[in-house]
Chain A
């Protein structure tokens, strides 16, 4: 604990110099401040929240009116003692450019053929790495088969994470089981949902996934939400509504709750490039910064919001530059590079918890599949583009190549794994399909803690209707 506090004192002047340009805090300078723990090992004990802040006028102490005398006495005619800090004057009539000279660089560890490009990353041991790969393959298999199932009419709707497996699994692997996950869901029309991998990593079973997609009695959401809208309290994975970006303020609120309790955990929330246009995103970012909440804001910039390309979504250099606008530390990573994502999330988590601050991560990736089963993306983007990303930038293949170079994986293991995964998923679907649908009463339960009289009346009335017209309601045998 003392280690972090003394090192953070060194960081503060470092930040102040960088404030005028789009300066970045390099991974190595942060890395030197923290010991390189093996992944997934929990921090010990509670950390006090004495975070250094750039704008130090208020830090959760009660506010007193500023002493007017001290303001007027400022002899320096070069600067203004403005609320929030000193502001230097300039004689130049000069506007800040709308875009930086160069786009913010993207942190990458592995190249497309799986070779390491740097030593500046968080090491992973063999067990974790192999587990990550297996989960990525499982996620791919689940996506392929569930998508096919939708096309066959067995489930009504599905959303794949094709092309984004590294983000899912690597970020999940870098977190602990105590961290709260607020996954992404999107607009009221076809829904986007791409964090199934995080659930898989945390031990949510295949059968549970299948049950939720089929909305049967085994579904822990009790048949009340669309397919792929998972939620599991025991895995600290929060059910989210279909509305875009509403989970981001939720994540900040949960981080607030963690901060109140002084817990050694953080919150992470995922959203897409489209989600960053919403009011909720802005407000939550601002609030996370002001509140100094331990939240990781993970943006999956996959280039497309249904059919809207990013050039129609925003004109800034992606999302990473917005971090500084809110006073939030940020980084851009290659989203198809599992090691890069892992390292970034690992470090972000450390910062978030020990310094009680939000961190913004923008992962550049590509939505290799369609937006959802209701979409055909070849209508609005060139097939060559899709093919290139799928072939050359496939995150699973890249990670496998690295594993093979390490000697931790082989071709035979791969075939065996994929066959087994396929069989498991098919079995899960078959079981889920045959299971019963939830009982009528589930329509009325959990609206409140106990049903009020009007709901009880409505349930009675519905049961009477079903009984009277039994032939029309074969699903419900009363």
Chain B
């Protein structure tokens, strides 16, 4: 879809009696690839544009002090994104359990209730189906809710509302009502949180028509994706990861948004394309260090957009390397890797020199014991072995 940034005029028309918006200038991030048409509202002036898909430098703390920008942790980056959007557009509101004065279980909404009041940053009772339903109703009448699931797994209770209402009402109403909600929260396998709190909901949601899914992995893309998701007219599910909230990175001071539909080139290479997202990106990068020492040159892509896939970036990579390894945290059956494998086979079969290899978690509930839990998640050693086998 065209990367539509900013408040479209239709959305502005839907906003009944809200104060006049004077949104600031809107810089756009793109990767070096194809030009994307950018629908900018006439009332805004064009602003500065930063053109890198990733932050300037994520890995050299020594030289950090002299560089521009500011250092943040990932949850702070999410909060910055939220705060900037709430400042910019008075229709943005937050719902969730303990998001108000408590600031959210992972402190993503800390301080926002004090600043914007506890009607706009609303603490809800424990009823996921209800507050997602509320968000749908509020969105249909012009608000832009950001709903937090305390843990993504709890959103299974809201599956009905997300699938049948959030995803479908724009379609079944003949386009009359839009549902610009953002549903976000931490998911994935953490440190001994037990099976019910270690769900990877992207597997279950990927089939729902009408929603977009994105997964953030760095403070830079977390903030950018949060902002883009809020500005999107479609319902977006933003997957964060429980273990990544304390990642530190230097991000730009100026305003930026990243594209919801684009993948991120983490490390260009020649030998093999490794597709991954969220926490597994870090396992892959760790494996990449080992692989480089062994003489391999892996290309690592963080797919970021889980629905729809950025087949353009992925395709270009495959055309170069001819080998694909997918590393995911989902379970083997019915996960993102399974769909991605199918999509690549369908579209790029001719370019593959070898069958696609997909490393995923086993089809088991995540056990509590630390040693057991560790081996249900793909580890760097496995990734190294898989690449060696693929590149033989």
Q: Does B bind A?
A: yes
Q: Which residues of A does B touch, CB under 8 Å? A: 60-63, 180, 182, 219-222, 224-225, 229, 231-233, 238-239, 241-243, 246, 248-261, 263, 267, 279-280, 282-284, 286-287, 290-291, 445-454
Question: Which A residues lie within 8 Å of B169 (CB)?
Answer: 239, 241
Are A220 and B308 closer than 8 Å at their CB atoms?
no
The count of residues in chain B whose C-beta lies closer than 8 Å to any C-beta of chain A is: 62
Smallest CB gap from B132: residue in A:
A249
**15 A-B residue pairs with CB within 8 Å:** A220-B176, A221-B172, A231-B176, A243-B160, A248-B133, A250-B136, A253-B139, A254-B141, A267-B137, A280-B133, A283-B130, A287-B130, A446-B171, A449-B8, A454-B309
Taking CB atoms and an 8 Å cut-off, the chain B residues in 133-147 that contact chain A are 133-143, 145
Are B308 and A253 closer than 8 Å at their CB atoms?
no
Tell whether B168 is near chain A: CB-to-CB under 8 Å.
yes
Are B138 and A257 closer than 8 Å at their CB atoms?
yes
Are A233 and B113 closer than 8 Å at their CB atoms?
no
Given A252-B130, A280-B129, A286-B130 in contact, is the A246-B17 Cβ separation under 8 Å?
Answer: no
Question: Which A residues lie within 8 Å of B176 (CB)?
Answer: 220, 231-233, 239
Smallest CB gap from A263: residue in B:
B17
Please list the 3 inter-chain residue pairs (A to B) with the smallest Cβ-Cβ separation, ordered nearest first: A249-B133, A253-B137, A283-B130
Question: Which B residues lie within 8 Å of A279 (CB)?
Answer: 127, 129
Are A243 and B165 closer than 8 Å at their CB atoms?
yes
Are A233 and B127 closer than 8 Å at their CB atoms?
no
Taking CB atoms and an 8 Å cut-off, the chain B residues in 120-166 that contact chain A are 120, 122, 124-125, 127, 129-143, 145, 160-161, 164-165
Are B101 and A257 closer than 8 Å at their CB atoms?
no
Taking CB atoms and an 8 Å cut-off, the chain B residues in 41-92 that contact chain A are none
Given A180-B141, A182-B137, A451-B1 in contact, is the A286-B125 Cβ separation under 8 Å?
Answer: yes
Question: Which A residues lie within 8 Å of B374 (CB)?
Answer: none
How far apart are the CA atoms of A318 and B123 in the complex, in Å? 30
Given A221-B172, A452-B1 in contact, is the A260-B131 Cβ separation under 8 Å?
Answer: no
Smallest CB gap from B143: residue in A:
A257
Are B134 and A250 closer than 8 Å at their CB atoms?
yes
Return A245 CB to nearest CB of chain B, in Å: 9
Are A241 and B172 closer than 8 Å at their CB atoms?
yes
How far apart are the CA atoms of A159 and B136 in the complex, in Å? 26
Smallest CB gap from A286: residue in B:
B125
Question: Which B residues lie within 8 Å of A233 (CB)?
Answer: 173, 176-177
Smallest CB gap from B133: residue in A:
A249
> Per-residue 0/1 for B232-254: is the Cβ within 8 Å of any A Cβ (1 yes, 0 no)?
11100000000000000000000
Smallest CB gap from B18: residue in A:
A261
Smallest CB gap from A62: residue in B:
B101
Are A287 and B131 closer than 8 Å at their CB atoms?
yes
Question: Which A residues lie within 8 Å of B143 (CB)?
Answer: 256-257, 260
Question: Which A residues lie within 8 Å of B142 (CB)?
Answer: 257
